[in-house]
Amino acid sequence: MPTNLAIEDNLIIEAQKLGKHRTKKDTVNEALKEYIQRRKQLEIIRMFGKIDYDKNYNYKSGRTRKRVKASKSER
């Protein structure tokens, strides 16, 4: 989707240098990905303390598993 944006040159140049991006497009796409990831993290942080959990749940029980011996060719 072609879009024309008026982005401050000094911001795009600095971001391009910091991220070692070859193009402005790569720089903007990476910045948007980081922005989205950060916002999603903030939503998760806001949920802390709001979710009920089972105090009797044994989380260690799910960690037990049998180890499979590696064959000689995998070593």
Question: Is 71 among the domain residues?
Answer: no
Number of domains in the chain: 1
The H or E element spanning position 73 is none
- Determine the Cα angle at 57 with ends 53 and 59, to 5°: 110
Tens digits of per-residue pLDDT, 8-23?
999 999 999 999 999 9
- Across the chain, mean pLDDT equals 86
Q: Residue written as tokens 């049998």?
A: 66
Q: How far apart (Å, rounded) are the C-alpha atoms in residues 29 and 1? A: 12
- Domain coverage including residue 27: 22-51
> Considering the domain boundaries, does residue 43 fall inside one?
yes
Asked whether residue 14 is assigned to any structural domain, the reply reads no
Spatial CA neighbour of 12 closest among 26, 37, 39, 36: 26
Q: Residue 66 falls within a domain, yes or no?
A: no
Q: Whole-model pTM?
A: 0.60
48-59 per-position pLDDT tens digit: 878 787 888 887
